Amino acid sequence: MWGRIRDYLLRNIGLKIASLFLALLFYAHVVTDQQRESQIAVQVLLTGLSDTLAVTGNPPPRVGFKVRGKWKDLIRLGLTTRFLTIDLANASPGRFQRTISVEDVRERAIPAELTRSLDVTEVVEPRMVDLTIELKRSRTVPVAARVVGSPAADVQIDGRVQVEPDTVHVEGAASVVQALDTLYTLPVDITGEREKIQRQVPLDLGPNALAADPRRCLVTIRFARADAETSRQHP
């Protein structure tokens, strides 16, 4: 009996596999040809800002919108890297506001070959770009390492944490640069460490698009055996 079943399954096996493949292709075509609505998010890219100006606040990193069309075209859109550009060429110091419209998304975030087959139905979030633009300033500020965690129980940091260089040149919005007393590195985790650490660590430039030269500093941390009293306090 099992032999007959096996012979039946293996008879014309190539033709059966080809038929199954064609059936799957037809099914995929039918499914992906159906109309659907999907929500897409694209990156916001600020362009054209004068070299003498800087943006403060938190520009929206992405904008979400709803788009309707055939599923296969929605899949193509999802696989395409696109940006929604906001032109700041005519911006001046002060508050800058611009509503993001369906037309903006259709023209800037949908590839030209898909504009006829996809319909942008709604801008979801955010619907407006709200920025503050300031004159740009620069100055030299000291640098310090941001250290987190605790070393091994029998050691402690030996002396001062060294940062080289210990000052950097920063440039950005006037209000941000003027209020900056110290620029810190990204956190250096010393959890469980007992040997000397020497790492190139990026600076924490924050959300206000500061520029720094250099952008990394060499952080050196040395450890020494803790005395008995310290060891009792940190078992």
Residue range 9-20: mean pLDDT, rounded = 60
Contacts of 87 (CB under 8 A, 6+ apart): 47, 48
Residue range 176-204: mean pLDDT, rounded = 94
Q: Alpha helices, DSSP H only, in 149-221?
A: 174-178
Domains along the chain with CATH numbers: 34-126 (2.170.120), 137-233 (2.170.120.40)
Span 122-152, pLDDT tens digits: 998 888 888 899 999 999 999 999 999 999 9
- Name the average pLDDT for the chain: 83
Q: How far apart are CA 144 and CA 184, in angstroms?
A: 5
Q: Over 60: is that where the pLDDT of 228 sits?
A: no
Q: Over 80: is that where the pLDDT of 39 sits?
A: yes
Question: Confidence class of residue 204 from pLDDT cuts 50, 70 and 90?
Answer: very high
Residue range 153-159: mean pLDDT, rounded = 91
Q: Over 70: is that where the pLDDT of 112 sits?
A: yes
Q: How far apart are CA 205 and CA 78, in angstroms?
A: 31
Q: Over 80: is that where the pLDDT of 216 sits?
A: yes
Pairing type for strands 53-56 and 83-87 reads unpaired
Task: Kindly report which listed range (3-7, 43-47, 79-83) carries the lowest average pLDDT score.
Answer: 3-7
Q: Over 50: is that where the pLDDT of 27 sits?
A: no
Question: Confidence class of residue 232 from pLDDT cuts 50, 70 and 90?
Answer: very low
Rg of the chain over all Cα atoms, to the nearest angstrom: 29
Q: Over 90: is that where the pLDDT of 24 sits?
A: no
Q: Over 60: is that where the pLDDT of 230 sits?
A: no
pLDDT at residue 82 in the model: 80
pLDDT at residue 164 in the model: 97
* Inter-residue contact 164 to 218 (CB < 8 Å): yes
Residue range 64-68: mean pLDDT, rounded = 89
Q: Which residue has the higher pLDDT, 78 or 96?
A: 96
Q: Over 60: is that where the pLDDT of 23 sits?
A: no
* Inter-residue contact 146 to 136 (CB < 8 Å): no
Contacts of 38 (CB under 8 A, 6+ apart): 66, 67, 68, 74, 78
Task: Kindly report which listed range (45-49, 90-94, 110-114, 139-143) carries the lowest average pLDDT score.
Answer: 110-114
